[in-house]
Amino acid sequence: MQTFFSIGVDALAYGMILFVISIGLSVTMGLMRVVNLAHGAFAMIGGYIASYAARDLGLAYGVAVILAVAGTIIIAVPLERFLYRRIYGAPELTQVLMTIGITFCVIGIANYVFGPTLKTIPLPSELQGPVDIGFRTIAAHKLFAISCGIGVAFALWYLIERTSFGVKLRASVDNTAMAAALGVRTKIVYAASFALAVGLAAFGGVIGAELLPVEPYYALRYMVTFLVVVSVGGAGSIPGALIACLLLGAIDTTGRYLVPEYGEFFFYLAVIAIVWVFPRGLMGRAK
């Protein structure tokens, strides 16, 4: 029972972190149809900035989070303008090559600047230690991660369903040419959603640093995981991504607890099985 409960909490926390990081990828893939393998690199950049701000400069955790999100967006916007815009609508292989190239560069530079060691982001005292929720105790940072995930899901739902930006975004996802003809400035929508996606990735990278530790190969290590979320959930679908994250979080965490000696074997087996059964994703739209 204790194990079962621990698995449940870990799976939920892990799934929510996955969600916060990957949801931006899902939206941009649904919108710009770019297979962005560098998404994890942005989460990693966020982690590095926060670590530098909180550990080396001694800034408060909240400030570090804001700096990480803003800093990552500032780094990413020129990349969107000068590199990504060149590959919108390009063949998949081209997109893969470009974004994997960006990933490699980020890894190389991060390692050069910050060194190969693991970087921690010191948690504020409120997030350290356990929290008593009546019948059990949960690590506070896991509870924090879970609530952040729920918060992001709601905020995104509100943004997309209830704001004029959301209307433009949905119109552009459904039919870019038509949205442009109706006066939506799709380039701005693209750039704004890209910035939003990157910002969320950075945010997820910071709050998830306890579960997905920040180190130079982060971008490569979790590349598949984030892509899988989009592929399994269906590009552009928030509920799809949420379900996919919870499902994958559960599979991965259960695997680690019960059969740690098999590493991620069962995780990848499950990924293949799910994609095999739902080649267009759980919530994917038919072409």
From the list 57, 60, 74, 109, which residue makes contact with another protein (rule: CB under 8 A)?
109
DSSP category for residue 125: G
Q: Which of 157, 165, 257, 268 binds another protein (CB under 8 A)?
A: 268
Residues 6+ apart with CB under 8 A from 133: 143
Under rule CB under 8 A, residue 87 binds another protein: yes
At residue 76, φ and ψ (nearest 5 deg) are -80, -30
> Contact 142/13 with Cβ under 8 angstroms?
yes
Residue 73 and residue 147: Cα distance in Å, rounded?
23
Among 9, 11, 69, 106, binds another protein (CB under 8 A): 106
Compute the half-sphere exposure of residue 260: CA atoms within 13 Å on the CB side of its CA.
2
Tell me which stretch binds another protein (CB under 8 A): 44-52, 175-183, 185-193, 219-227.
Answer: 219-227
Given candidates 64, 65, 209, 235, which one binds another protein under the rule CB under 8 A?
Answer: 235
Alpha-carbon distance 97 to 94, whole Å? 5
State how far the Cα of 189 lies from the Cα of 177, in Å rounded to an integer: 13
Closer Cβ to another protein, 138 or 230, answer by number:
230
Nearer to another protein, 94 or 163 (CB): 94
How far is it, in rounded angstroms, from Cα 93 to Cα 45? 25
Closest CA to 36 of 153, 190, 148: 190
22: buried, middle or exposed (CB in 10 Å: 19+, 13-18, 0-12)?
A: buried
Q: Which residues contact 102 (CB under 8 A, 6 or more apart)?
A: 37, 38, 41, 79, 83
- CA gap 86, 80 in Å, rounded: 9
Minimum separation from the CB atom of position 232 to another protein (A) = 8
Smaller CB separation from another protein, 135 or 276: 276
120 binds another protein (CB under 8 A): no
Q: Does 264 bind another protein (CB under 8 A)?
A: yes
94 touching another protein, by CB under 8 A: yes
The answer to whether 142 touches 16, Cβ cutoff 8 Å, is no
86 binds another protein (CB under 8 A): yes
Q: Among 88, 104, 157, 257, which residue sits at the site for another protein (rule: CB under 8 A)?
A: 104
Q: CB of residue 162 vs another protein: minimum separation in angstroms?
A: 28
Which CB sits closer to another protein, 75 or 167? Answer: 75
Q: Does 162 bind another protein (CB under 8 A)?
A: no
Residue 178 contacts another protein per CB under 8 A? no
User: One-letter amino acid identity for 114?
Assistant: F
Among positions 116, 129, 130, 239, the unique one binding another protein when judged by CB under 8 A: 116
**For the window 64-83, what string marks contact with another protein as x by the rule CB under 8 A?**
-------------------x
Residue 274 CA to residue 175 CA, distance in Å, equals 28
The residues binding another protein (CB under 8 A) are 29, 35, 83, 86-87, 92-94, 96-98, 100-109, 111-112, 116, 216, 220, 223-224, 227-228, 230-231, 235, 261-265, 268-269, 271-272, 275-276, 279-281
